[in-house]
Structure 1
């Protein structure tokens, strides 16, 4: 790919896990009452037909990884586990009281932090506590993120027995220099062990996360990491750019100097090489930064046009409503978003007061819903059409005009009623979505809130 395209389109931009994106949520007028009403509406519309997704944020880690942008609490004190699970189960109970019928759970995802920080007994108490108040939807899917260094065979077996069939392991990079810089010393042998153990137990989908653009990371390091990954052949993987946003995440991303990071040109070459190697190994690009073997459910969801994207990432099926439990978790009713407080102490306080611990969010209007649909289509299918809603989307001509230059550059193809992202344009899908983002066009944030798109 020519450097001129990289230079031209390498700007700060959202990753579009939501629309409107978080900086444009109307916090001042956000109403907990309206949020609950939107969730109840969504639940009544979709609980029996689609089911409900649950995201649980488990924030504790024993050490700080300096590439990480997640909300976490660093501690070696494992006595924090039980009170946290008690609070999460009480939060779930507060939500269940909003509904007239039992939630029908389609998806559960354990994220973090480090879910495998928790003991197997506490994880079992957590999942069994959730399921006591719910039924299970047909074809339900449970997944969790595991740290290869502390995920034990007991973790894998316990969660498998509770219904989990998908696990994701954070690899990042196998080079020792890079690992030291990001404070994530993790030998290949540990990843190999947990990957093989998961398969022996019966997990049907094992995923690895690989990051390019890390400090001191060379093109050769990326090649070495992917070659080692090919030895294990995970069913799916995320291959994504390190988001360097220390002005947001604080000192946790200041463990190295700016000049230690690869240039945008090197990052793009890392991405192109990685993508080429993955294709040679049989991985197919699924949406933005995600790849899967043809045997994996994520690939099959593309064929069936069921791929979905939300705050849990890409999922193989859609649920209209997703509830986030735990500190900083985000919920999505489709008609609105709500985020929990980020302070653990405030989270505990609100739960003790029997208050659902949300502090900000956004209720979507009709134009928000229309734009959200198009951005979701682009992120999941690299395609969108507007024949059915053009009359409600009066800004469409303005959006298409903004895309003309990208079409000239060969990144997309536009006809009278639809847009198709080309193979050349896939790395720039965030830039394409930005043209639809009317709020971003109206007012760019005064400070840089987003990572660079390249």
Structure 2
């Protein structure tokens, strides 16, 4: 990647886990009644036989990782576990009653926060409670995010017995000075041990999450971290770009400043170095920031065109309805989005009063639905087509005009009825998606909302 291209395209932009992105939702046109109607419409989709995905947000962490921009609650008081789980199950019951018939769960993911903050017994209480009002499909995929320092053999055995087959461990970086800066200290021996235990417990897919662009992270650090990761041979690897967004409310990104971060150019070298090492070790790049071995389902989905992207990131499953449970969780009905309130106390109060704990939402119009599909195509397969009348927009000429510069730079090819992102353009996929983002073009933000694209 040339320095001039990097400087040109390294600008703030969305990560496109949704379209419209959350800052461009129109909450004033959203109501709980409309949301429930949207949920029911997705649930009754005849092609999917009541299949849904479920995301459960477990927000508690014992300590603050200062690179993290997720919604979390820092506490060492484990007595918060059971009341929170009881509230999540009450919220699920509210949804189940509105659906009218028993949902069939195709995908379930526990995210956080730190899901393994919760004891194995309480996680069993949670999953058992979920299935009082649901069935599971035969091919269901259950996954969770585990912290290497507090995921135990009991966690792994309990969750595997409940049907979990995939676990993702947050590693970030092995360099002691980087770990100290981000307050996430865990040894390679700990990660090696828990990775081995996950496989012995029966997990068929183990993923490691790495982050590049962290404070004080140098080239030798990313080389060492990548080499150690390859030695453990996880089935999937997420190589995330550190998103420096200290301006967001409630953000824990402190203890370092922008001067401690690698420069934009240095950051990209970190990524390219890790990518080359991973590819040489047999990992294939999947979508944006993800790598997988050929035997993994994510690799197979990318090859057969079934790769999907939503608020949980890249997934092999695309159900019409994703319900998010827990404080700050986001749901997706295909034609609408809804986010829960972020405060645990407010969330608990609303649910205990039999009220869906919605903070805001957005109902997609016809234009949104078409653009969403184009952006999803680009993020998952690096190409999109408007050959079908259903994929055309009145603003298509404007969008193609916005792509003229990426075309000149060799990042995009214009086809007869669509576009293709070239291999050189893959690092700039977020920039190319921005050409389709009409809501962003119509209302440029007055303040910085997004992390850098490259």
State the TM bucket, normalised to the shorter chain.
over 0.9
Q: CA deviation at 1:241?
A: 0.7
Asked if 1:399 corresponds to 2:403, the answer is no
Q: What is aligned with 1:163?
A: 163
The verdict on how the C-alpha distance between 1:373 and 1:18 changes in structure 2, with shifts beyond 3 A counting, is: same
| 3-state SS, counterpart of residue 92 of structure 2 | helix
Counterpart for residue 302 of structure 1: 302
Judge conservation of contact 1:108–1:142 (CA < 8 Å) in 2. Answer: yes
Verify the 8 A CA contact 2:50 2:103 in the aligned structure 1. no
**Structure 2 residue aligned with 1:89:** 89
Quick one: structure 1 residues 393 and 35, their matched pair in 2 at CA, closer, same or farther if it must change by over 3 Å?
Answer: same
State the distance in 2 between where 1:288 and 1:109 align.
20
Cα–Cα, structure 1 residues 61 and 220, in superposed 2: closer, same or farther, change >3 Å?
A: same
How far is 1:138 from its partner? 2.8
**Residue of structure 2 equivalent to 1:319:** 319
Distance change in 2, residues 1:53/1:10 (3 Å): same
Cα distance in 1, alignment partners of residues 138 and 162 from structure 2: 16
Aligned position for 1:63: 63
Secondary structure of the equivalent of 1:436?
coil
Q: 1:28 Cα deviation (Å)?
A: 2.1
Match of 2:211 in 1: 211
Shift of 1:444: 1.3
Number of residue equivalences: 454
Alpha-carbon distance between aligned partners in 1 of 2:242 and 2:41, rounded to the nearest angstrom: 37
Q: Secondary structure at the match of 2:89?
A: helix
Q: Is the 8 A contact 2:385 2:391 kept in 1?
A: no
Matched with 1:100 is 100
Displacement after TM superposition at 1:389 (Å): 2.9
Contact 1:413–1:422 (Cα < 8 Å) also in 2: yes
CA–CA distance in structure 1, aligned partners of residues 242 and 327 of structure 2: 24
Cα contact 2:44–2:50 (8 A) shared by 1: no
**Distance verdict in 2 for CA 1:70–1:316, change over 3 Å:** same
What residue in structure 1 maps to residue 76 of structure 2?
76
Is residue 353 of structure 1 aligned with residue 359 of structure 2?
Answer: no
Question: Structure 2 CA distance, aligned partners of 1:15 and 1:371?
Answer: 15
Report the CA distance between 1:445 and its aligned residue.
1.4
Separation in structure 1 between the aligned mates of residue 308 and residue 206 of structure 2, nearest angstrom: 19
| Pairwise CA distance, 1:245 | 0.3
Structure 2 counterpart of 1:253: 253
* Aligned-partner Cα distance in 1 for 2:403–2:278: 30
Instruction: Find the counterpart in structure 1 of residue 373 from structure 2.
Output: 373
Deviates more, 1:45-54 or 1:426-435: 45-54
Measure the CA separation in 1 of the matches of 2:210 and 2:72: 20
Match of 1:45 in 2: 45
Please give the alpha-carbon distance, in whole angstroms, between the structure 2 residues aligned to 1:249 and 1:9.
27
| 1:46 CA drift (Å) | 5.3
Shift of 1:345: 0.8
Deviation, structure 1 residue 250: 4.5
Counterpart CA distance in 1 for 2:444 and 2:187 is 42
Correspondence for 1:430: 430
Q: Distance in 1 between matches of 2:128 and 2:251?
A: 37
Give runs of ≥4 in structure 1 deviating > 6 Å.
Answer: none
8 Å Cα contact 1:116/1:155 also seen in 2 = yes
CA contact (8 A) 2:56 2:110 kept: yes
Alignment root-mean-square deviation, CA = 1.1
Q: Which residue of 2 aligns with 1:419?
A: 419
What SS class does the counterpart of residue 132 from structure 1 fall into? Answer: coil
Number of the residue aligned with 2:11: 11
* Conserved? CA contact 1:46–1:321, under 8 Å: no
Aligned twin of 2:184: 184
Match of 2:22 in 1: 22
**SS of the counterpart of 2:424?**
coil
Structure-2 change in CA distance of 1:274 and 1:318 (3 Å):
same
Equivalent residue, structure 2, for 1:242:
242
Contact 1:181 1:215 in 2 (8 A): yes
TM-score (norm 2): 0.98
Q: Distance in 2 between matches of 1:44 and 1:29?
A: 23
Contact in 2 for aligned 1:208/1:237 (Cα 8 Å): yes
CA distance in 1, matches of 2:15, 2:73: 24
Instruction: Tell me, in whole angstroms, the C-alpha distance in 2 between the residues paired with 1:390 and 1:322.
Output: 24
* Secondary structure in 2 matching 1:80: helix
- Does the 8 Å CA contact 1:298/1:316 hold for their aligned counterparts? yes
Q: CA deviation at 1:391?
A: 7.4
CA contact (8 A) 1:411 1:425 kept: yes
The structure-2 alpha-carbon separation of the partners of 1:341 and 1:391, relative to structure 1 and needing over 3 Å to count, comes to: closer
Q: Deviations over 1:84-117 (max 9, x none)?
A: 0000000000000111210010000000000000
Could you say which residue in structure 1 is the equivalent of 2:383?
383
* Distance (Å, rounded) in 2 between the aligned partners of 1:127 and 1:100: 21
- Report if the CA contact (8 A) 2:370-2:391 is conserved: no
CA distance in 1, matches of 2:332, 2:234: 29
Q: Distance in 1 between matches of 2:251 and 2:420?
A: 41
The answer to whether the 8 Å contact 2:48/2:320 transfers is no
Pairwise CA distance, 1:392: 4.4
Q: Matched residues in 2 for 1:370 and 1:323: separation?
A: 22
State the alpha-carbon separation in 2 of the partners of residues 50 and 406 from structure 1.
Answer: 42
Q: Structure 1: 5+ residue runs without aligned partners?
A: none
The 1:92–1:366 alpha-carbon spacing in structure 2 relative to 1, beyond 3 Å, is same
Structure 1 residue 48 displacement after superposition: 4.2
Work out whether residues 60 and 74 of structure 2, in 8 Å CA contact, stay in contact via their aligned partners in 1: yes
Secondary structure, counterpart of 1:399 in structure 2: helix
Unaligned runs of 5+ in 2: none
